[in-house]
Structure 1
Amino acid sequence: MNKSIIVALDLTDHDLTLIKFAQQVQSTYQIAKVHFVHNIKISELDEILSDMMEDRQIGPMISKNLENKIKSIFKESDSYDLTLLEGDNTEFGISEWVKKMNKPTTALLGWKTVENGTGAMAQKLIRIFQGDVLLIPRDTSFKMQSILIPTDLSSNFSKVKNKVEDLLPTGSPFQVSIIKSFNIPSVFFPFIDDQETKVKAEKLIMVQYEALKKKLKISDTWSFKAVYQNGKSISDIILRENKNCRADMLVMAAKGASTIATIFLGSTTNEIINRDPFQVLYIVK
């Protein structure tokens, strides 16, 4: 885990989940200080609201509300700080604020249901944020006993592998499962033996993984499986395998083998973010 973490709060009930999760992360990884941040969107403070507030300032009221939430979890005042930003673009404001820290940073965000907002904020932040992003569903606590890594075994896998090794607490029992999903284009079905081709594809993928395992010195304790999609989407496969291995956290690269610019998300990562939250999701940049 990066030794600098920020937690984006939004004044909803999701805040308490994020604050508790951040406290558990701080304790596990001996992080000196947690940085909480909230952006006040100036455009949302219209004239009617301003008239209702009269001479009262919204900033101190928001600060007090958030401080009370944080203090209910963080008992030592020097273990955290709270910053209020003001701007119309939350993602840009947070990104620019973190740049001033000039250190590797992980941002903790709430991962919400479709009814409470899609992954739009997370998508925008991941595109411009220079650090990692950790998406946390509501009412989720921190656990680190089982990690699932969906991958295409591209060059970005080395970043994910290094991050997972960094995430695993020393001395704790853990299970790391790696999956690569694959498909056989249906256009070939009239001319090939589907089952035979599936077996050959699995063997080729295993050879590819064994070469990568040797190159990156991947632990023998980490399991690897090639999963045939059989018409299902990659995100469907990830969701199914996540349930099968009972993972505590999903760790993915922001994008796979694509050579597109880093401001774009990989299609699979983008699709996962847009699903209803089903697991803690760590996006590695």
Structure 2
Amino acid sequence: MITIDAMMVCLDLSDLDEKLVAFSRSVCERLQVRKVYFVHNIKLYELADDFREMLGDLDLGKEVESNIADIVSEQFGNITDYEILVGQEPITGLILADLVKRYKVKLTLLGKKMSDKGTGTQGIKLLRILPCSVLVLPETASFNIRKVLVPIDFSENSLHALRLSKALSDQLQLQLETMHVYRLPTQFFPLISEEEAVKKAVEVVKGKFAGLQKRHPEIAGVPFTLVRAANKNIAERIALHLQKGHHDLLVLGLKGNNAMPGLSLGSVPTEVYNSDLKVPLWLVYSEDEIR
């Protein structure tokens, strides 16, 4: 059973906050979440001087906390223990990363607007710096999750994502499908037959998945789909398969990079995040990678 000792919900005082808080309630209703931290950081240096003068002696932190409390009261209620944290630090990512470490946060919820409403650069920064798994909620996403898709590349990280997805699907009685996107070495065409190359690639990948099922009997019954990248990149193929299969949640495993001070997001998760997905995206780090 999936249990989450501490979950953090990042709010930005936009219209998306109400939906994000309501989604956090949905997560708590489905999973065992012991405590939730609703967090916002006020970047005072971004305020114009004339606006600061207008504020006068107003305690902006208390006003923001009161605003968040109203949203939480309406959209979250008392489903589990929670705390509202409002900071005033110059760099949002650093204070959030510190909160993750201090309160041993296992999962962070982020909202995401469509690309025509923002660049999403702040979200990418947070994904790179937060030492925990992240669940991204697009503004158009539904809370009604029935089908889960987890792409794998046969690494230990994608296997961790698959195990989590299987546990989630068993716990909530969801449909689960895994997929792999493969590429062919087109630079060797026409020296080798494309038909033979496809046949060999399919044979090799199916053999890998069969071996994976033997080593991990818990995933033996999970449906597996093999997709050729062809003229699209891996992220585009994942997005197309997600839409075609009417999946409601996408889970991706992430790999840490010990040579860097932060965590490495990777090109495919970055491209997937930057696309206008209409379903929640769960980006998963294993405990070993976090350590």
Q: Residues 132-281 of structure 1: matches in 2 within 5 Å?
A: 132-168=133-169, 170=171, 172-255=172-255, 261=260, 263-281=263-281
Which secondary structure does the structure 1 equivalent of 2:190 belong to? helix
Is 1:73–2:75 an aligned residue pair?
A: yes
Query: Deviation at 1:156?
Result: 1.2
Query: Deviation at 1:219?
Result: 2.5
Does the 8 Å CA contact 2:149/2:249 hold for their aligned counterparts?
yes
**Rounded Cα–Cα distance in structure 2 between residues aligned with 1:255 and 1:78:** 31
State the percentage of identical aligned residues: 29
Which secondary structure does the structure 2 equivalent of 1:16 belong to? helix
Q: Which deviations, in whole Å up to 9, do the C-alpha atoms of 1:10-37 show, x marking residues without a partner?
A: 0001101111100011111132332100
**Range with bigger deviation, 138-147 or 14-23:** 138-147
CA pair 192-19 structure 1, distance change in 2 beyond 3 A? same
Structure 1 length normalisation: TM-score?
0.91
CA pair 269-255 structure 1, distance change in 2 beyond 3 A? farther
Query: Deviation at 1:238?
Result: 0.4
Letter in 1 for 2:20: L
Q: Which residue matches 1:124?
A: 125
Does the 8 Å CA contact 1:17/1:139 hold for their aligned counterparts?
no
Q: Which residue matches 1:18?
A: 20
Is 1:57–2:59 an aligned residue pair?
A: yes
**Rounded Cα–Cα distance in structure 1 between residues aligned with 2:17 and 2:169:** 25
- Give unmatched runs, 5+ long, in structure 1: none
Letter in 2 for 1:126: L
Q: Which residue matches 2:288?
A: none
Letter in 1 for 2:163: N
Does the 8 Å CA contact 1:144/1:169 hold for their aligned counterparts?
no
**Rounded Cα–Cα distance in structure 2 between residues aligned with 1:12 and 1:266:** 28
Query: Deviation at 1:207?
Result: 0.3
Q: Which residue matches 1:40?
A: 42
Which secondary structure does the structure 1 equivalent of 2:226 belong to? strand
Is 1:106–2:113 an aligned residue pair?
A: no
What is the alpha-carbon root mean square deviation over aligned residues?
A: 2.1
Does the 8 Å CA contact 2:159/2:253 hold for their aligned counterparts?
no
**Range with bigger deviation, 64-73 or 121-130:** 121-130
Letter in 1 for 2:149: L
Query: Deviation at 1:259?
Result: 8.6
Query: Deviation at 1:177?
Result: 1.0
Does the 8 Å CA contact 1:20/1:141 hold for their aligned counterparts?
no
Letter in 1 for 2:45: S
Structure 2 length normalisation: TM-score?
0.90
**Rounded Cα–Cα distance in structure 1 between residues aligned with 2:225 and 2:15:** 38
**Rounded Cα–Cα distance in structure 1 between residues aligned with 2:7 and 2:170:** 17
Letter in 2 for 1:108: L
**Rounded Cα–Cα distance in structure 2 between residues aligned with 1:162 and 1:250:** 14
**Rounded Cα–Cα distance in structure 2 between residues aligned with 1:49 and 1:169:** 52
Q: Which residue matches 2:289?
A: none
- Give unmatched runs, 5+ long, in structure 2: 286-291
